[in-house]
Structure formats: structure tokens, C-alpha cells
Amino acid sequence: MPPTVTSRLRFPAFGFRLPAFAGVLGRVPAPLADAAPAAVLFVAMLVERLGAAGRIGSRMPYALVLTVLLALPVAVRRRAPLTAYLVGTLALTVEAQFVSPSPVSPYANLLGAYAVGRYGGPGRAGWGAPLVVAGIAGYFTGQDVAVVMPAGFLALWLAVWAYGYADAHRLAEQAVERRRARDELLAEERTRIAREVHDLVGHSLNLMLVQAGAARRLIDRTPGRSRELLVEIERTGNDALGELDRVLGLLRGSAPRLPDGAPPAEPGTVELPSLAERMGRAGLAVALHRDAPPLPPEQDRCAYRVIQEALTNVLRHSGAGQATVRITGRPDGTLIEVADDGSGPPPGHRPGRGLTGIAERAARLNGTARHGPGPNGGFLVRVVLPAGGER
């Protein structure tokens, strides 16, 4: 099926966009849109040639053939712009030199000049200028006219060709910018989903590993406690699968929906007590302190993921028994701190994917993230989300 024009029509000569008349023009096939100005010009040239039959005389058959050769290139000017312009220019020159100059025919050639610049492409569009000069010279050769007339025609033809050339260059730059913007958005989305998957899988698997290790150590001494830990592992795994299905649904475009049709909300700081409870069952006591107003939605989700990842790192690496989470409101934004009473960073410590993800989340909201030894030992993660930093 040929491409169609559905919402706006481009005026074939110079690319001006006109509103489409819905319900009247409907879906116009591209070949028909290209042929329409050719048909209009053909009728206009034919009427003019027939009206000048007395002046043309016996040369009328040649005039009619040249009329066809002038109109046909207009219909194919987009698909073969250089060839169409060459044919149209030769026909116009022959008509002017051997039949009779027509006041209508040059308009068909003018459309061709624009088409060479607009649709000729980087290699062929540059031929437009010398072809215009040659065509104007051939058209006016032997005619008794003031020099200002061919000079004016040459200026107009070159201006129209240059406009088409500039239009093509502008549209090419816009296409490059659109591709660049699309690639940047895709890269940002991939990074965001990678962070989500890392935080989700890393947190859940680490929690399950700690619980499984504790259950293994206690299975002989306290079977009841081991049973509780196994139940908690099952619950953590089910929660992780649900979250993973939500994240992967974003990739497939088929994320699960709530009964009202909205996607399920991502976890926010309201879920911190549940997170602290899960950490407590895994052996890390978490104290929550909040002295900050409710955060904007994106900052709220960011704060939860930052705290989740920081506590997962505490559980996995520090050997700490207690961690403290503080969310503090400040005039310039919100301060988030996660500190533990563990052994602190080892010599030569370098941030891994978790800490890097925390920094990326903060930077995405124009915030900052720092980490290192705490003032009283242990490890400290400190994130500042600025007021109005959500975007």
C-alpha cells in the first residue's frame, strides 16, 4: 500500500504545510499528491497552447508533445529529481527556441529546481546550481529581451533551488537530532531499568542468602526458628518475583495493571517500616527517624531505593548488627543518611554497582551522594535531594 497523507498536506512546490480538510480529502496516496500539481500545470499549459494556436501554427504537434514532457517530470520530481529537472529543462529550452515561449511552462521548471535541492540528496543536489544557469541561458538565448529579465529569472531559480537545498539540510539535521534524542532516552531508560533490576534482585537475593544461612545454622538447635526463616525466604522470593514481573513488564510494554487500569505504584518511603521489619528478621536492627515533609513522588521512590540498597550493603558487607536511617528536611532539600555500627570500609575500598546506582539515582534528580567511614565508625551513605529537583 502506498504511503498516505492523513493529517496535514505539504504543498508540493515549496514544502509549506496546509491543514488537511478532514472528511473531504481523506487519505491521499503519495503518488496522487505528487501528480496533482502536474495535472494542474498540464491543463494550464494545454489551455495556453491552444489559445496561442494562431501564433504557433504548424508547430502545434511539437508544442503538445513538449507540454507533456514538461508536465510529466513534475509528477516524478520527488522520486527522480535530477532526471526530472534535466528532462523538464531540455523541454522548456526546446519550446522557447523552436516553438514559442510560454508564460506557464517556466512554473513547471521552477518546481523541478526546488525538487533538485530538496530531494536530490547530498550528492546530486549540488548539480542544481549549474543546471539552473545552463537552463536559463538556453531559454533566453536568441531572445530580444533586456538583460535584467534573464538576470531576474536566474536569481529566482537559484533562490528556489537554494531554498529546497536548505530545507533538505534542515530536515536532515532534525532527523539526526531526533535519533540522538531517541538514543539518549533509550539509554536512560535502559540504565533506569538496570538499576531497578539490580536493586530488586540484589536486595532480595542478599536477604534470602542471609536468611538461608541463619536457617542452616539453627536447623539443629532451634527447628522452629529455622522454619520461620524458611517461611520468610519464601515470602521474600514471592515479593521479588512480583517486583521483577513489574519491572520486566516495562520492557515488554505489558506491565500489570490495577483494577482501575493504573500501573501498580513503585515502593516509596511509606514502605520503609516493612523494609526495616524484613531486615530485622534477617538479623539487622534498623532504626527509622524521619523529620521531613512528604517528598514529591519521584524523590520519594528514589529515597526508598537509596535506603534499600544502602541497607542491603550493610547486611551483606559490614557485619553490623544495627543501622540507623534518617530522613531530614532542610531549607535546600532533603537529607537521607544510612549509618551502621559495622567495621567500616576496608582499605582501598571502591564503590560497586550498588553505590554507583545510588549516585546515579541522586544525580538524575540533581542531587548528590557521598559515602565513606561514619563519624563514629561503621559506614555512612549520605544523599541530598534538592528542593524542586524532581524532573
DSSP letter string over 287-313? EEEEESPPPPHHHHHHHHHHHHHHHHH
Q: Could you read off the pLDDT of 217-253 as tens digits, one per residue? A: 777 777 777 777 777 777 777 776 766 776 666 566 5
Q: What percent of the chain has pLDDT over 90?
A: 21
| Domain assignment of residue 265, yes or no | no
Give the position of cell 500501573: 263
Q: Which of 144, 163, 188 marks a domain boundary?
A: 144
Instruction: Please tell me which residue, 166 or 9, carries the higher pLDDT value.
Output: 166
| Residue 199: predicted pLDDT | 67
Q: Which of 5, 37, 15, 38 lies closest to 115 in space, CA to CA?
A: 15
CA distances from 201 to 141, 196, 236, 291 (A): 80, 8, 11, 30
| Residue 189: predicted pLDDT | 66
Q: Which of 234, 363, 338 lies closest to 286 in space, CA to CA?
A: 338
**Domain total of the chain:** 2
**CA 368: distance to chain centroid?**
27
**205 has a pLDDT exceeding 80:** no
- Give the residue-averaged pLDDT of 165-173: 89
CA distance 169 to 10: 17
CB atoms within 10 A of CB 41: 20
| Domain assignment of residue 164, yes or no | no
Q: How sure is the predictor about 339, in pLDDT bands with cuts at 50, 70 and 90?
A: very high
* CATH number of the domain bearing residue 362: 3.30.565.10
**41 has a pLDDT exceeding 80:** yes
CA distance 378 to 356: 19
Non-local CB neighbours of 354 within 8 Å, separated by 6+ positions: 198, 199, 202, 309, 312, 313
Instruction: Please tell me which residue, 335 or 252, carries the higher pLDDT value.
Output: 335
Domain with 119, as residue range(s), is 4-144
Q: Which of 97, 124, 144 marks a domain boundary?
A: 144
CB atoms within 10 A of CB 216: 11
**28 has a pLDDT exceeding 50:** yes
Q: Which amino acid is at 152?
A: G
Q: Which of 144, 176, 205 marks a domain boundary?
A: 144
| Residue 202: predicted pLDDT | 66
- Give the residue-averaged pLDDT of 2-9: 39
Instruction: Note if the pTM is more than 0.75.
Output: no
The most confident of the ranges 164-173, 176-185, 311-320 is: 164-173
| Domain assignment of residue 55, yes or no | yes
| Domain assignment of residue 235, yes or no | no
Q: Could you read off the pLDDT of 89-145 as tens digits, one per residue? A: 999 999 988 888 888 889 999 999 999 989 888 888 888 889 999 988 888 888 878
| Domain assignment of residue 352, yes or no | yes
| Residue 158: predicted pLDDT | 92
Start-to-end Cα distance in the chain:
42
Q: Could you read off the pLDDT of 363-374 as tens digits, one per residue? A: 888 999 998 888
| Domain assignment of residue 310, yes or no | yes
Non-local CB neighbours of 241 within 8 Å, separated by 6+ positions: none
| Domain assignment of residue 192, yes or no | no
Instruction: Please tell me which residue, 19 or 292, carries the higher pLDDT value.
Output: 292
| Domain assignment of residue 38, yes or no | yes
CA distances from 342 to 28, 204, 314, 316, 319 (A): 72, 21, 8, 11, 6
| Residue 181: predicted pLDDT | 79
User: Do residues 112 and 129 make contact, with C-beta atoms less than 8 angstroms apart?
Assistant: no
Non-local CB neighbours of 67 within 8 Å, separated by 6+ positions: 42, 45, 46, 49, 105
Average pLDDT taken over every residue of the chain: 80
CA distances from 210 to 275, 279, 284, 379 (A): 15, 10, 10, 19
